[in-house]
Every structure is written in C-alpha cells, then in structure tokens.
Amino acid sequence: DRVPTPAFLFETGSDSDNAGFCRGPHRCFQPLHPESWGRAIFDIASMFVLLYESIWMPYQFAWNVQLKGVALAWSIILSSFWTLDLILGFWTGYRCKKDCLVMDFKKIAWRYMQTTFLANLIVVVTDITSIALEISSASQDDKTSSTAVAVKVARFIKVNRLLRLWSLFKTGRVALLFDYVVTYLRAVGLDEQYNFSVRVVKLIFIIMWVNHFGCCIWHSVGTAANDQW
C-alpha cells in the first residue's frame, strides 16, 4: 500500500499554525509555531552546531587552543547563534501534556523560565565571558593563573550544551519527520533494517565520541601533572 505524504510536510495550516511568519503588521508579534519550518530549520542547524561543538570543545579544553583568527571569528558566530536560540525560547510555542498547542507569550515565558532558560542562560553567559577573557588575555604576553583557570572552567561549563542534542530529536517538526520515515519504512517492510542501522550508527558515534573525550581528558590531566611535577 502507498503511504500518503503527511500533511505537515507541505501544509500551510491555520493562522495559529503559521504563527511567527509575518503576513501583516499584526502577524509579526505572534509566537513561532513549534512545528513550523522556520523552527525546524533552526533545530537542524542546532544539531550540526552541537555535533561540531561535541568534537571541538573537548579538544579546545585539553589542548588549551587559543581563540584567534578563524577560531575567534567562528566562536563569536556560534555565541551569537546560541544567544538567538536563548531569545527564541521566549518566542516559540509549545505542546502541553494533553497535546494542545500553547501560543500565549505569558505561558510560553513562564514555562521556559521553569524549564531550560536558566541552564541556557548560564551557558550563553559563560560562552560570552570566556570569549571576552580570551580576547583580553590575548592582548597580554602571559596569562595570569586566575585568568587561565577561569577560561578552563568556562570551557568545561559549555559542555553542558551537548545535553540538548538528544532533545532535538524528540520535539517539533524534526521529530515528525523522523516519525514519517519510520512509518514509511514500516509500510515497505524495512523498519527493522532501519532501526538496526540507526542503532549501529548511534553506537559507533557514542564509542568514537567517548574515546575522543577520554583522550582529551587524559591529555589534559597529563599536561597538568607535568606542569606541577
């Protein structure tokens, strides 16, 4: 049997479904629909950024890579990206426990403040602070010990951002896309092969990342021991 293409892939929907897209002066001040294409594209971009940071942050922490040139410019761009993500948290609707769509700014802000706002704020402030410390220390010949420790701590706190990667696969239009893929493959009899392939790829990535993170930590500990001994 032919699996019909889900409506959410192409639908324009009702006014509430399209909230967040400006079709007139009054539309620009409505929340962004959590399953809109605009939010989906931003979430997909967030996934790639998080994958990049999952490799870069442990390496930067262990090898004490200085931010200058391309690395500094890229860090500023990513910091701006996550600052925008922090703001969008107040601008994006959500689904309640009964699967009802909530598009009220007050309710959105209250829920965001109760859930992930504080963690996101800490990471963003730490990110901006670490960049500022890097820039200020780069203008000096030698880093003071307190500045070096502060930069190390700031880099370590940013690892908390990687916890968001899994949640991106569980919400919004990205999750709906994955659900459609699974439904289609189940209809053609390939769901078991798909699930097996996904588990294998996920396991390989976890093993490689754990080894990468462990090697970076091991190098950091060895470097610190050599400096002190």
The string over 119-151, giving b where at least 16 C-beta atoms fall within 10 Å of a residue's C-beta and e elsewhere, is: ebeebbebbbebbebbeebeeeeebeeeeeebb
pLDDT for res 20: 43
pLDDT for res 78: 92
pLDDT for res 171: 65
pLDDT for res 90: 95
Q: Specify whether the CB–CB gap between 25 and 159 falls below 8 A.
A: no
Q: Which of 67, 69, 217 is nearest to 128 (CA)?
A: 67
pLDDT for res 123: 83
Burial of 77 by CB count in 10 Å (0-12 exposed, 13-18 middle, 19+ buried)? exposed
Query: How many other CB atoms are there within 10 angstroms of residue 24's CB atom?
Result: 6
pLDDT for res 7: 47
The total number of residues written for the chain in this structure: 229
What are the pLDDT digits (tens) for 202-211?
Answer: 899 999 999 9
pLDDT for res 97: 86
pLDDT for res 21: 44
pLDDT less than 50: residues of the chain: 1-5, 7-25
User: For 156, phi and psi rounded to 5 degrees?
Assistant: -70, -40
Q: Which sign does the torsion angle of CA 145, 150, 151, 153 carry?
A: positive
Q: What are the residue ranges of helices labelled H in the chain?
A: 37-63, 70-88, 105-114, 117-138, 145-157, 164-168, 172-187, 191-228
The SS3 call for residue 12 is coil
Q: Specify whether the CB–CB gap between 78 and 49 falls below 8 A.
A: yes
Residue 139, amino acid:
S
